[in-house]
Structure 1
Amino acid sequence: MKDSDDSRSNCELLPKPVAIYRTNDVKLSTMSSEQPMEDNAKSLRPFAIMWGGQAVSLFGSRLVRFTIVWYLTLQTGSATVLAIATIMALLPQVLIAPFAGSYVDRWNRRRTMIAADMIIALSILFLVAMFHFGTIEVWHIYLAMLIGSAAGAFHWPAMLASTSLMVPKKHLLRVGGLNHTLQGAAGIIAPPLGALVLILLPMSTILMLDVVTAIIAIGALAAIHVPQPERTSLLVEKSVLGDMMDGFRFLRKTRGILLIVVMAMFLNLVGGPASALIPILVTNHFHG
């Protein structure tokens, strides 16, 4: 019995190899969990750069759009002018959007976004020159809005399609929420900031803010690699009209998405003209 007690006490005094192995396992598992986090950060870095540039550009565009609408309101006081400006901003989206996605799938998406940002910047730069030399006319603003809207019809699908290739599938819902948050934040921050700069700065300087933010977005895109999807034989053989018809067939089969699209179209059709005339309501009725 004494020998057994001594052996037991000696065993208790010895270091426990099991605990050492468990400690090593914890260290190994910690190292292995840190590595995927670093890999995820590296894989998301190009998207973060692209998203940051586009976020800056979005705020600039929203601010300038607000100031242009209020410039037209204060200079003309015409509901017709505002209605035409709204049509110039929406018509290219309605006419081009059904085909834009098919073309974006065939083109280089990074170059498409850069070209769209450059066209938007040049259209605003045209207005800057008109304001600077004092030769601005209402139709100049219509033309710039028409060109910018047409370029934007290709830019947005290219960015959405690129996001699905640059972001891991498990993060797509988060990125979608982040995009909606950005849209909402721009809609909240841009109007009061636009009202402030409209009082403090001339229109040519305000418009240059949009040009600068567009250049930032172009620089961000130029600094990264945007992956391209594989060009399958089916994509090469199918026409743009065929792609569009496939989209309509998908909507018809997917009743939930079709219902959402119809509701969005109805809300835009009803709410769009009313929101465009809010500046006239503010100035004429509330004397703002």
Structure 2
Amino acid sequence: MRTFLIIWLGQLVSTFGSRMTSFAIQIWAWELTGQATALALVGFFSTLPSILVMFFAGMIIDRWNRKWLLIIGDAVAALSTLTILCLFLTHQLQLWQIYLLGAIAGIFVEIQTLAHSASISLLVPKSQYGRASSLNASIHYGAIIIAPALAGALYAKIGLAGIAMIDLIAFGIALVTVLPVQIPQLALSQNDHETAATIWHRLVFGFRYIVARPGLRAIVVVPVLVSSRFRRRCLCPADSGAHRK
């Protein structure tokens, strides 16, 4: 559990920083345009690429070093935040840049998140699976609930630039926690290496496997519906304000 908790702490801080920046960017987009459409598109462009890459993420995670996937995910997200900060400070930040950077970062963050989740069974004993899974879930849901509140409270005082700086510090903490630890890699059989190129067949098999099992369908569908409902509720105040105006 010690190695897992070290990684978990770094990912917790990093995820909170990313969520705070994402919420601050949405506030900035609302202040810039006064339109709920711009607000929604920020989330759309950062989410859609991550959904598409999920079809291939499992094969990537099984064949690449998971420690380096975590590091690369943090590095790309940090570079995206740094670029936004530089553009904002030079008064050159535009919405299309937010959309593009969000899409790029979303791909790597999704792979990073799945690599972290998939490493649980390799880092902790079976007796600790429940505890580790609960802690892992707390990163996602805790950040969704708490990070926007923190960003909203700080935005009026330090603005987008200040929150982006906090995010960069959070990325540094995550990097420091990941670098010294070792994450075991899943051993692949010879057959796995021989069939690695048949991506389409693996995707079809995965879909059929999930569709044929109601329990797995529920595990996949329910979190998506809950997350979508929560995001829509978060956007409702802005939509209501637009109608009142």
Q: Same fold (TM over 0.5)?
A: yes
Are 2:116 and 1:156 aligned?
no
| Counterpart in the other structure of 2:140 | 183
Where 1:229 maps in the other structure, the secondary structure is coil
Change beyond 3 A, Cα 1:282–1:59: farther
Taking only aligned residues, the RMSD between alpha carbons, in angstroms, comes to 2.1
- 2:79 is aligned to 122
Please give the secondary structure, in 2, of the residue aligned with 1:201.
helix
Name the structure 1 match of 2:239.
281
C-alpha distance in 1 between matches for 2:222 and 2:163? 36
Deviates more, 1:81-90 or 1:122-131: 81-90
For residues 250 and 177 of structure 1, the distance between their equivalents in structure 2, rounded to whole angstroms, comes to 26
Q: How many residues align?
A: 243
Q: CA deviation digits over 1:4-44, x for unaligned, max 9?
A: xxxxxxxxxxxxxxxxxxxxxxxxxxxxxxxxxxxxxxxx2
Equivalences for 1:31-46 in 2 at 5 Å?
44-46=1-3
What CA distance in whole angstroms lies between the structure 2 residues aligned with 1:82 and 1:58? 20
Cα drift, residue 262 of structure 1: 3.2
Which structure is larger by alpha-carbon Rg, 1 or 2?
Answer: 1
CA 1:45 to 1:212, structure 2 compared with 1: closer, same or farther past 3 Å? Answer: same
Which among 182, 203, 208 is matched to residue 244 of structure 1? Answer: 203
TM-score, normalisation: structure 1: 0.78
Unaligned runs of 5+ in 1: 1-43
Instruction: Return the offset for 1:286.
Output: 7.1
Give the corresponding residue for 2:190.
233
Between 1 and 2, higher relative CO (CA 8 Å, sep ≥ 6) is seen in 2
Code of the aligned partner of 2:166: L
Matching residue of 1:52: 9
Alignment of structure 1 residues 45-84 onto 2, 5 Å: 45-84=2-41
Distance 1:103 1:96 in 2: 10
Conserved in 2, the CA contact under 8 Å of 1:73 and 1:279? Answer: no
Identity of aligned residues (%): 32
- C-alpha deviation, 1:47, in angstroms: 1.1
Alignment partners' CA distance in 1, 2:52 and 2:82: 25
- Number of the residue aligned with 2:151: 194
In 2, the alpha carbon distance for the partners of 1:140 and 1:274 equals: 23
User: Tell me, which stretches of 5 or more residues in structure 2 are unaligned?
Assistant: none
Distance of aligned partners of 1:86 and 1:185 in 2 relative to their CA distance in 1, 3 Å threshold: closer
